[in-house]
Amino acid sequence: MLKEMLQPIFSLIPQVKSPTYRVPFKEKLKWTGIILILYFLLGQITLFGLSTNAVDYFGQLRAVMAGNFGSIITLGIGPIVSASIILQLLVGGKIWRLDLSRPEDKAVFQGTQKVLAIIFTLFEAIVLVLTGALSPSSPELTWILVLQITIGGILIIFMDEVVSKWGFGSGVGLFIAAGVAQQIIVGSLNVLSSPTSPGVPAGAIPHFIYSLTSGSPNFDLLIPVLAVVVVFLVVVYAESMRVEIPLSYGGVKGARGKYPLKFIYASNMPVILTSALLLNVQLFANLFQKLGHPILGTISNGRAINGVAYFLSTPSTYTVIFTDPLKVLIYAVVFIGSCILFAWLWVELSGIGPKQVSKQLYDMGMQIPGFRSSRAQFEKIMSRYIPAITVLGGAFVGLLAFGADLTGALGGGTGVLLTVGIVYRLYEEIAQEQLMDMHPMLRKFLGNE
Partner 1 sequence: MSSKESIANFLKQCERVLHVSRKPGRSEYINVAKVTGIGIILIGVVGFIISIIAQLLTT
Which positions touch partner 1 (CB under 8 A)?
36-37, 40-41, 43-44, 177-182, 184-186, 189-190, 192, 232-233, 236-237, 239-246, 260, 263, 384-385, 387-389, 391-392, 419-420, 423-424, 426-427
Q: Of 352, 359, 351, nearest to 377 (Cα)?
A: 359
Q: How far is the CB of 72 from partner 1 (least distance, A)?
A: 13
Q: Which is nearer to partner 1, 178 or 347 (CB)?
A: 178
Q: How far is the CB of 190 from partner 1 (least distance, A)?
A: 7
CA distances from 54 to 50, 70, 132, 134, 201 (A): 7, 8, 8, 6, 23
Q: How far is the CB of 30 from partner 1 (least distance, A)?
A: 14
CA angle 276, 413, 182 (to 5 degrees): 90
245: left (phi over 0), alpha (psi -120 to 50) or beta: beta
Q: How far is the CB of 46 from partner 1 (least distance, A)?
A: 8
297: left (phi over 0), alpha (psi -120 to 50) or beta: left
Contacts of 105 (CB under 8 A, 6+ apart): 3, 98, 99
Distance between CA atoms of residues 158 and 167, nearest Å: 13
Q: How many residues does the chain have?
A: 449
Q: How far is the CB of 309 from partner 1 (least distance, A)?
A: 31
Distance between CA atoms of residues 161 and 377, nearest Å: 38
Q: Which is nearer to partner 1, 129 or 245 (CB)?
A: 245
Q: Which is nearer to partner 1, 212 or 233 (CB)?
A: 233
Q: 73-95 burial by CB neighbour count: b if 16+ within 10 A, else e?
A: bbbbbbbbbbbbbebbeebbeee
Q: Which is nearer to partner 1, 371 or 424 (CB)?
A: 424
Q: Which is nearer to partner 1, 50 or 177 (CB)?
A: 177
Q: Which is nearer to partner 1, 26 or 384 (CB)?
A: 384
Q: Which is nearer to partner 1, 178 or 285 (CB)?
A: 178
Q: How far is the CB of 333 from partner 1 (least distance, A)?
A: 18
Q: How far is the CB of 329 from partner 1 (least distance, A)?
A: 23
Q: 405-427 burial by CB neighbour count: b if 16+ within 10 A, else e?
A: bbbbbbbbbbbbbbbbbbbbbbe
